[in-house]
Chain A
Amino acid sequence: MSLQSPLGRVLGRGSAKSGVSHWWAQRVSAVALVPLTLWFVWQLAGLAGGVDGYSYDAVRAWVASGLTPVLLVLLVLALTYHSALGVQVVLEDYVHGKGLKVASLLASTFAHLLLAAAGVYAVLRIAFTTGSV
């Protein structure tokens, strides 16, 4: 049984809105990002410490090596998802005015989807076009 009024449910109003799913997804992506981001900076440190630094060839060879592309795709997806959820809450809290709020939320959603698609595309393109090492 729902304690929300029918009107409140239709409008998506009330303190819980969609329940705990948003809150939970934010935590799940946060937990995933702890090892993924630490892995990423560890890998960057390896690149920076290499003789070629962040050179074009060194970066591509790294992106294409072993399980790196898989983990990079996961990183990009987890980052964009976590970021989309976080920015959404910030916009909901601070952007007032119905039109502006909806417009900014839409813009954020689309921008994050674009970032996710572009990031995954870039990683896969490097992985598939770098000579097998």
Chain B
Amino acid sequence: MRPRPLSPHLGVYRFMYTMATSIAHRITGVVLSVGLVVLVAWLLAAASGTEAYASTAALLSSGLVKVLLAGWLLAFCYHLCNGLRHLGWDLGRGLEKPEARRSAAWVVVGTLVLFAVLVWLLLLRAGGTVGGAA
């Protein structure tokens, strides 16, 4: 059978930033799923003794991984804020286009504020000992 045309035909729509917030929910979700491996690895290291924890902590404290941790934190903030927006829709609220556009903007604002607070609280304050012993 010849391949059937399938929706969605993304190309026929004029781009709206609400489309970006929609696909970003999926992307951040997948990113967070990968981050789950790091969370479990961290817990396993803490369960496996000082040596295992020290090497994991050293890895988590390296520059590149710190950037990744910040990225996961950003993904978490976005997925949480936009997830709440989705739950609102599931309750039948905010489904009109102007409301959805406004809530998309609020999601971006909320994400950035939460991200700034969490980066400071979780990453910067620990003084270079992310996940690690000094």
Q: A residues engaging B (CB < 8 A)?
A: 27, 30-31, 33-34, 37-38, 41, 44-45, 47-49, 52-56, 59-60, 63, 72, 76, 79-80, 83, 86-87, 90, 115, 118-119, 121-123, 125-126, 129
- Considering the complex, which residues of chain B in the window 94-129 have a beta carbon less than 8 Å from any beta carbon of chain A? 118, 121-123, 125-127, 129
Find chain A residues with CB under 8 A from B127 CB.
53
Q: In the complex, how many angstroms separate the beta carbon of A103 from the nearest chain B beta carbon? A: 17
Which A residues are CB-close (under 8 A) to B47?
121-123, 125-126, 129
Most buried by B among A38, A63, A80, A83: A83
Which residues from A are CB-within-8-Å of B44?
A: 118-119, 121-122
When chains A and B are docked, how far (Å) is the Cα of A107 from the Cα of B51? 31
Of residues 47 through 61 on chain B, the ones whose CB sits less than 8 Å from some CB of chain A are 47, 50, 53-54, 57
20 A-B residue pairings within 8 Å (CB atoms): A27-B87, A30-B83, A37-B80, A41-B118, A48-B126, A53-B127, A55-B133, A56-B46, A56-B53, A56-B54, A56-B133, A60-B46, A80-B36, A86-B30, A90-B30, A119-B44, A121-B44, A123-B47, A126-B46, A129-B47
One of A30, A31, A87 near B30 (C-beta < 8 A)? A87
- B interface residues, Cβ below 8 angstroms from A: 26, 29-30, 32-33, 36-37, 39-40, 43-44, 46-47, 50, 53-54, 57, 76, 80, 83-84, 86-87, 90, 118, 121-123, 125-127, 129-134
The reply to whether A79 and B46 contact each other, CB–CB distance below 8 Å, is no
User: What does DSSP make chain B's interface, helix, strand, loop or mixed?
Assistant: helix
Bound-state CA distance A81–B126 (Å) is 30
B-side contacts of A38, CB under 8 Å:
80
> What residue of chain B has the Cβ atom nearest to residue A80's Cβ?
B36
Q: How far is the CB of A129 from chain B (nearest CB, A)?
A: 8
B129 contacts A55, C-beta separation under 8 Å: yes
Instruction: Find out whether the CB atom of B50 lies under 8 angstroms from the CB atom of A56.
Output: yes
Residue of B nearest to A46 (CB): B121
When distances are taken between beta carbons in the complex, the residues of chain B under 8 Å from A86 are 26, 29-30, 33
Residues from chain B with a CB closer than 8 A to the CB of A121 are 44, 47
